[in-house]
Chain A
């Protein structure tokens, strides 16, 4: 397209809040009870980051790689693409991120996080795994529209930022999760969803924490 500057953010909002959450509800219905597996994997990731070590790091990154691959296919390509023409591109980005996370998991273990860094990382992951599904109820929506780690992209992106922070991962691995926080945050803002601020705020705080702890040293528990 040669006239991008003539478009505003609202021009790219192609669906209503109702259609968006109906899509999530139908997706949840179709993949249930995979949510229980998602929740179990999310809790396992929390344990892995709480007890850093080469094996734990590998497990957490592999779990995330699988989650990104699944969401890219089952959510973006199979469902979101129905109401958003960018769906296939999002699926591709999620696939690339899955490969990146898989590559990181296969690499030798780098530096372990400082204690504070680990706690901040755990904060992000706990928010994504334990608190994010409750936002549906807080926003007056039904349980069926809850967004669960490993199933829905938004909590998975926040949890990924937490794991990348806890693993002191290379900056390249941050790019797609951060971009998704920006894209999805903007979409939710245009849809006037109450918690739209959460994704961009998490992204900014995760980057700030990553920069803050960049030179911090490993502190044994």
Chain B
């Protein structure tokens, strides 16, 4: 064992003990700084704490220039150690844009997360198959019932697909604090692997019940809208970073906001969406280095509330 690998093992042990964050395996894609991972609670599979969302940013229609830019973002994301890309049939051309880029990039370790969003369970399989073809993947890793639409019927379909080996994980989603009561009931009563909710330094409702319930029920948490669709970073633009930012290796507000999210012990990963290569690099850096502890997380939330 080399000194480097023993140091890595030691760091991994320390990080596991401090909340489940671990360094990536030595077989991960080469990155300048290792991207931290978290275990998916239901399986133990490690997943990088920073994923890539596609809401709005990847819905660029047939615009060849914009499609090439989206492919560049994905290329940078995978090169930086990213794995999870999340989309939905609700996102216009985003699925096709992702599929076209995947075909060109051929990433070695994609974690494909998509959704079913259609009224009535009978129409679910058809929509899932259409989505799969647009993504150009043999199967999805994760399928989620989008915004709980016809959730009871779709969950049956997704569980059957998982049983047949055509799907690895099942989840549900909501955003912007909608229907949290119903989300809790489903989390408590159904066997699901993931729940996707909005969570950021200002929208912290999920800390009360959903995140603790996720830990209790061993459900992975995907945090969407980490920047409130850009409003949060815009509101903080030009405001100097407080002193604590340097302590956790943050040079931008976006990194601090992401570190706040992924350092919550119940959160598996955050999925910031961007159409900028520079931003995806910046986001990935938030999944590296030191994470804030509970006291610092409180301070970050207070400072963001005060400044945003």
Contact surface of A with B, Cβ cutoff 8 Å: 1-3, 6-8, 10-11, 13-16, 18-19, 22-23, 26, 79, 82-85
Q: Mark B51-79, 1 if CB is under 8 A from A, else 0.
A: 00000110111110110000000000000
- With both beta carbons as reference points, the residue of chain B lying nearest to A25 in the complex is identified as B63
| Given A22-B66, A85-B92, A2:B119 Cβ within 8 A | yes
Determine if B149 is an interface residue (Cβ-Cβ < 8 Å).
yes
Across the interface, do B178 and A15 meet the contact criterion of CB distance under 8 Å? no
- Contact partners of B293 in chain A: CB under 8 A: none
- With both beta carbons as reference points, the residue of chain B lying nearest to A5 in the complex is identified as B178
Please, could you name 9 A-B residue pairs with CB atoms under 8 Å apart, sorted by A? A3-B179, A13-B56, A19-B63, A19-B66, A22-B66, A23-B63, A82-B92, A84-B92, A85-B90
Across the interface, do B149 and A16 meet the contact criterion of CB distance under 8 Å? no
Q: Which of B104-156 contact A (CB under 8 A)?
A: 119, 147-150
- Contact partners of A26 in chain B: CB under 8 A: 62-63
Q: Taking the nearest CB of chain A, how far is it from the CB of B194, in angstroms?
A: 20
Query: How would you classify the secondary structure of chain B's contact residues: helix, strand, loop or mixed?
Result: loop
Q: Which of B142-188 contact A (CB under 8 A)?
A: 147-150, 175-176, 178-179
Determine if B46 is an interface residue (Cβ-Cβ < 8 Å).
no
Q: Contacting B61 at CB < 8 Å: which of A6, A13, A19?
A: A19
Q: Contacting A23 at CB < 8 Å: which of B61, B119, B229?
A: B61
| Given A82-B92, A83-B93, A84-B92, A19:B59 Cβ within 8 A | yes
Q: Contacting B57 at CB < 8 Å: which of A6, A13, A16?
A: A16
Across the interface, do B61 and A1 meet the contact criterion of CB distance under 8 Å? no
Q: How far is the CA of A7 from the CA of B90 in the complex (A)?
A: 13
Q: Contacting A16 at CB < 8 Å: which of B56, B90, B175?
A: B56
- Contact partners of B147 in chain A: CB under 8 A: 3, 6-7
Q: How far is the CA of A83 from the CA of B92 in the complex (A)?
A: 5
- Contact partners of B63 in chain A: CB under 8 A: 19, 22-23, 26
Q: Which of B21-57 contact A (CB under 8 A)?
A: 56-57
Q: Contacting A82 at CB < 8 Å: which of B93, B119, B150?
A: B93
Q: How far is the CA of A83 from the CA of B67 in the complex (A)?
A: 13
Q: Taking the nearest CB of chain B, how far is it from the CB of A10, in angstroms?
A: 7
Across the interface, do A8 and B176 meet the contact criterion of CB distance under 8 Å? yes
- Contact partners of A18 in chain B: CB under 8 A: 66, 275
Q: Contacting B178 at CB < 8 Å: which of A1, A6, A14?
A: A6
| Given A1-B119, A3-B147, A26-B63, A14:B57 Cβ within 8 A | no
Q: How far is the CA of A23 from the CA of B275 in the complex (A)?
A: 16
Q: Which of B249-276 contact A (CB under 8 A)?
A: 275
Across the interface, do B176 and A16 meet the contact criterion of CB distance under 8 Å? no
- Contact partners of A13 in chain B: CB under 8 A: 56
- Contact partners of A84 in chain B: CB under 8 A: 92
Q: How far is the CA of A3 from the CA of B175 in the complex (A)?
A: 14
Across the interface, do A14 and B90 meet the contact criterion of CB distance under 8 Å? yes
- Contact partners of A3 in chain B: CB under 8 A: 147-149, 179
| Given A10-B229, A14-B90, A14-B92, A83:B149 Cβ within 8 A | no
Q: Taking the nearest CB of chain A, how far is it from the CB of B95, in angstroms?
A: 12
- Contact partners of B91 in chain A: CB under 8 A: 14
Q: Taking the nearest CB of chain B, how far is it from the CB of A150, in angstroms?
A: 22
Q: Taking the nearest CB of chain A, how far is it from the CB of B75, in angstroms?
A: 20
Across the interface, do B60 and A19 meet the contact criterion of CB distance under 8 Å? yes
Across the interface, do A16 and B275 meet the contact criterion of CB distance under 8 Å? yes
Q: How far is the CA of A2 from the CA of B152 in the complex (A)?
A: 13
Q: A3-B148, A19-B60 are in contact. List 19 more A-B contacts (CB 8 A).
A: A2-B149, A3-B149, A10-B229, A11-B175, A14-B56, A15-B59, A16-B56, A19-B56, A22-B60, A22-B65, A23-B61, A26-B63, A79-B61, A82-B92, A82-B93, A83-B59, A83-B60, A83-B61, A85-B92
